[in-house]
């Protein structure tokens, strides 16, 4: 399989992660043990959209500068996603509450798959850019 095909599939999956994260966390009763601030969610969404647009433009044939800028936004998106995973860390103390589940999944499995997958995808994007 050509590396380009893997990058195309990962680009699509990264777009899905950005969109689903926004949809899932817009609710006041989002799953997790802690609430995610709107700021980190906005960073994840806006950097993700800018990364996606820039990356697709780069893949179509734009300059290397567009690719570097898109990669920077991908890294910001991936790091914001890993910060979003912190909502699943256990709470301690006498006022701690249990984890909330939602209709999408029970527990952090979907979030871990999406955001760790995004991190690995960004590593692949970086390798693809450097080796091209």
pLDDT 10s digits, 59-111: 998 788 999 999 999 999 999 998 888 876 666 655 545 555 555 556 677 88
Residue 33 lies in a domain: yes
Residue 97 lies in a domain: no
Residues 22, 57, 112, 27, Cα dihedral to 10°:
0
Q: What is the pTM of this model?
A: 0.82
Count of structural domains, the chain: 1
8 Å CB contact between 117 and 17: yes
| Domain region containing 46 | 3-89+105-131
């Amino acid at each position: 399989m050509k590396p380009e095909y893997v990058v195309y599939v990962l680009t699509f999956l990264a777009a899905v992660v950005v969109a689903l994260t926004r949809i899932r966390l817009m609710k006041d009763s989002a799953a997790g043990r802690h609430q995610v601030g709107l700021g980190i969610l906005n960073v994840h969404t806006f950097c993700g959209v800018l990364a996606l647009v820039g990356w697709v433009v780069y893949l179509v044939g734009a300059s290397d500068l567009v690719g570097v800028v898109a990669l920077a936004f991908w890294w910001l998106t991936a790091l914001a996603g890993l910060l979003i995973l912190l909502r699943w860390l256990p709470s301690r103390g006498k006022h701690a509450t249990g984890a909330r589940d939602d209709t999408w999944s029970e527990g952090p499995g979907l979030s871990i798959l999406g955001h760790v997958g995004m991190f690995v995808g960004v590593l692949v994007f970086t390798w693809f850019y450097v080796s091209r």
